[in-house]
Amino acid sequence: MKKELELLQGVMRENGVAICVVPTNDFHGSEYINEYFRSRQFISGFTGSAGTLVVCEDSAYLWTDGRYFLQASLQLKESGIELMKTGEPGVPEIDEFLKKNLKQGDVLAFDGRVLACRIGDKYKQIADKCGAITKFDLDLPDLVWTERPKLLGNSIWALPETSYGETFEEKLARVRKSMTKSSVNYHLITGLEENAWLYNLRGSDVDRSPIFFSFTLITPDSVRLYKFGDDFDDLLKEKGVTVKSYLDIFEDIKLLPNEAKVLADFDAASYSLIKSIPAPCKIVDGISPASVFKSVKNHMEIAATKEAHMYDGIAMVNFIYWLKNTVSKQSLTEISASDHLESLRRAQPGFIDLSFDTIAGYMSNGAIIHYSATPESDTALEANGFILVDSGGQYLKGTTDITRTIALGALTDKMKEYYTAVLRGHLDLAMAKFRAGTTGCDLDYLARKALQEIGLDYNHGTGHGVGHVLSVHEGPQRISKLPNKYKLEPGMITSDEPGVYIEGEFGIRIENEILCKEADGNADELYFEMLTLCPYEPDAIISERLTEEERSYLNDYHKMVYSKLAPLLEPEVRNWLRKVTAPL
């Protein structure tokens, strides 16, 4: 059993706690979190970006989704923590587990500052029905995390005017107009991406995401920004913004007037923050209009993003050329390959950082959906088989996310068959033409059909929104089997990433970013435009398995990739690109 788990169970006994819930979250409902908030990782040793740890007096359980089943099973070995595979037959959800295990008089504890209000409300209702007590002001992991990093804010910087296309004042006016329609006079914005978008400011408080710790409270005639430090304070004050210290929000929210009608997103705002709003106030649970607005990119953002994809495509093409021509000549590993790709991105104009830690999984490691190579797992590359590389960059012009499954040498017939099926699904979604009002759920089947025809499927969503110099994952739209009420709109950028994962053998995933657009002259007809610029793997494609439409679309895409990137490449790389983008 992990020492950290034993220590946590010890402080649970000291505080009379029967069950402690440790989520993966911060004060803002973020997907990616600052090291200060990684309590679940500290206690469990599981490093995935999604998961909830539930600790009992003499047992512990970790829930995570299908992206992390293999990774979690490896990292939880001998930890004393049982893996609970969310959505699998016979695996209860956390609320079912709590209903079964909480008893009269038990204490259920969680840090309400890092648990979404909607989830906290659910846990409180369960505890009440079981006759248990809920304590949400206990940060028990903090009592055993003696070397916990400090909660600090880093410097903030301004996004170039050529990258955002809409001023703070214009964005604020749109938010206030939406508030009026919702009949609210206060809007609490807790999402870090929404705050960064609103002010056209960026930071580095979260790894790989250019965002800064912040809260915003908007009324019809005032704006309060809560943040660390004094960066841009004078400019913000000139724009009518009152700047306050980051943690002051937890006290100020208690002082709202009784007539306040507050719009807050219960999926993003913390349980503690919402429960601090005075009881006479009316709270409206709803997504921030800023979240919806930022998902629809304007013309300037789209133009800037296309430029970022050109730079990213140069890095990717140089990487694939280098990898294929080096793997048989010198020793390479997953980590050394990832490091070289990062160096190529860093050489591009306007590069800020990676948009997430690169996933480079050779052969069986590629079957771990969100594999992260460590010095212990780092695998040597050989001149055969597949390496799956999922990577991206943050640039001053935009955010990129791309996956390519690269042939390092000879492939089996099975690898080619499965690659071709994944590619067909990827192309079929990209070719979709659909009516306005369509959701991602309506289109998800297109990416799975070719795989399902040969008895395969994948246990993750097909596409997520991509931020503009923000988080590589954003909503509210997504392409998934799960229902989603948010329709796909022109200007939304979403990923297209079907895959297949054969445990112990190999993994295949292909991902491009796609832009939703209106058909010329018809606002009711929508389609996707490819933004990503990088060739597919011709050595893995069984051409005769493609339909004529798929083959034509693929050839047109490869023609575009070559025409845009070739002038910017060295002659030997350009010659290679011409060969791999030749018509099938």
Rounded CA separation 515/445 (Å): 19
| Cα of 535 vs its chain's centroid, Å | 24
Specify the 3-state DSSP secondary structure of 235. helix
Task: Reply yes or no on whether the pLDDT at 67 is more than 80.
Answer: no
Give me the pLDDT at residue 369, please: 87
Give me the pLDDT at residue 511, please: 98
DSSP string, 82-109: EEEETTSTT---HHHHHHHH--TT-EEE
Rounded CA separation 466/44 (Å): 30
Task: Reply yes or no on whether the pLDDT at 185 is more than 90.
Answer: yes
Q: Domain spanning 3-144: which superfamily? A: Creatinase/prolidase N-terminal domain (3.40.350.10)
Q: What tokens appear for 288 in the block?
A: 């921030």
DSSP 8-state assignment for residue 25:
-
pLDDT single digits (tens) 531-561: 999 999 999 999 999 999 999 999 999 999 9
Residue 548 burial by Cβ neighbours in a 10 Å radius (0-12, 13-18, 19+): exposed
Residue 399 parent element (H or E): strand 398-399
Calculate what percentage of the chain has a pLDDT beyond 70: 100
Of the pLDDT bands very low, low, confident and very high (cuts 50, 70, 90), residue 71 is confident
Same fold, 3-144 and 157-292: yes
In the chain, domain spans: 3-144, 157-292, 296-517
Rounded CA separation 456/447 (Å): 12
> Can you tell me the mean pLDDT for 364-375?
89
The domain made up of 157-292 has a fold known as Creatine Amidinohydrolase; Chain A, domain 1 (3.40.350)
Give me the pLDDT at residue 343, please: 98
> Can you tell me the mean pLDDT for 284-313?
98
Task: Reply yes or no on whether the pLDDT at 396 is more than 90.
Answer: yes
The domain made up of 296-517 has a fold known as Creatine Amidinohydrolase (3.90.230)
The dihedral over CA atoms of 176, 178, 180, 186, expressed in degrees to the nearest 10, equals -60
Contact (Cβ atoms closer than 8 angstroms) between residue 73 and residue 83: yes
Distances (CA, A) of 28 to 235, 305, 544: 25, 26, 49
Rounded CA separation 429/497 (Å): 9
Contact (Cβ atoms closer than 8 angstroms) between residue 337 and residue 381: yes
Of the pLDDT bands very low, low, confident and very high (cuts 50, 70, 90), residue 395 is very high
Task: Reply yes or no on whether the pLDDT at 192 is more than 90.
Answer: yes
What does the mean pLDDT of the chain come to? Answer: 97
Give me the pLDDT at residue 370, please: 82
**What would you measure as the largest C-alpha separation in the chain, in angstroms?**
74
Of the pLDDT bands very low, low, confident and very high (cuts 50, 70, 90), residue 507 is very high
Task: Reply yes or no on whether the pLDDT at 188 is more than 80.
Answer: yes
pLDDT single digits (tens) 256-295: 999 999 999 999 999 999 999 999 999 999 999 999 999 9
pLDDT single digits (tens) 101-146: 999 999 999 999 999 999 999 999 999 999 999 999 999 999 999 9
Strands 359-362 and 351-354: unpaired
Give me the pLDDT at residue 247, please: 97
